[in-house]
Amino acid sequence: MTHFLSAGDLTPERSLHLFRIAAALKQRWKTGDRATPLAGRTLALIFEKPSLRTRVTFEVGIVQLGGRAVYLAGSEVGMGTRESVPDVARNLSRWVDGIAARVHAHSSVETLARHATVPVINGLSDVEHPCQALADYFTLWERGLDLATTRLAWIGDGNNVCHSVMLLGALLGTEVAVACPPGYEPAADVQARARSLGSRLTITADPREAATDADILYTDTWISMGQEAERERRREAFSRYQINDRVVGFAKRSVLVMHCLPAHRGEEITDAVLDGPHSIVLDQAENRLHAQKAIILELLGGSLDDV
């Protein structure tokens, strides 16, 4: 694996390999192991969008592995405006050992990867959020779920996180049912790619159909960054797609509820569900750190043997 731009770039074997590395890194850190397999390595963080979880987990992740991060705000770099994306990639490749980029356009991470001589990690784009999906499935895997027999219901916007959940679910054999209002379904090309990877994918407009007998209920904000002007139209379109106690009641009694955060409480999910006994959202958030440490270790040439 040279770069990590899409959840669909993985294989089932590579995914499980990363889960095992993440689990080992998590366990060793919690037991006080402070090995530094990436001592002296530097990871550049280009962030065109604000972030809590992605920024902190990348910065803390490289530091825990012994390296350091250099944070570059999008306005400072000006990718594609102040300086061409290829030139950004070529310059950073002379100074750092890896690049993690949180961008508006997916083409930006693809262009960075095409011109960089160091690994590039997609920290979120308008098409995908593969690091989130890796942490999500790692969270389910570490809880002992058989991902090949798990039914995951995504209820809400067919957005970038949904895309990555669909693609990685296809690789791992997870059944994914997506319930969206008409016009907000996942992109057709991502649906096609998921199906080409063997996905057991259902797209429906009925949240009850998706939630029925689900092992996992997953949602995300209805109004992502950059969609603020559509706020009222989206609230109206998604009003039937809230995860609340009624929707939880359609799923299995053991259902787990996921959200990639930040949550708009009272919109896509109620307080009672988000803070309730089925919720594992903080486990997901914690595992962003450990899953990304596994990616960084793999891509920057470190070894678990050195941890």
Predicted pLDDT at 306: 77
Which residues, at least 6 apart from 144, have a Cβ–Cβ distance to it below 8 Å? Answer: none
pLDDT, residue 280, reads: 98
Check: CB of residue 180 under 8 Å from CB of residue 205: yes
The set of catalytic residues is: 102, 129, 132, 220, 260, 288
CA distance 46 to 193: 28
Per-residue model confidence (pLDDT) at position 302: 85
pLDDT on residue 134 = 98
Predicted structure pTM score? 0.97
How far is it, in rounded angstroms, from Cα 207 to Cα 271? 19
pLDDT of residue 109: 98
pLDDT of residue 227: 82
Q: What is the pLDDT of residue 38?
A: 96
Q: Give me the average pLDDT of each 10-residue run along the chain (307 residues).
A: 96 97 97 94 96 97 98 94 97 98 98 98 98 98 98 98 98 98 98 97 98 98 87 95 98 98 97 98 98 97 82
Helix/strand/coil (H/E/C) assignment for every residue in 178-198: EECCCCCCCCHHHHHHHHHCC
> What was the pLDDT predicted at 139?
98
Look up tokens 């990363």; give the residue.
Answer: 18
Q: Is the separation of the CB atoms in 186 and 158 below 8 Å?
A: yes
At 13 the pLDDT is 97
pLDDT (0 to 100) of residue 185:
98
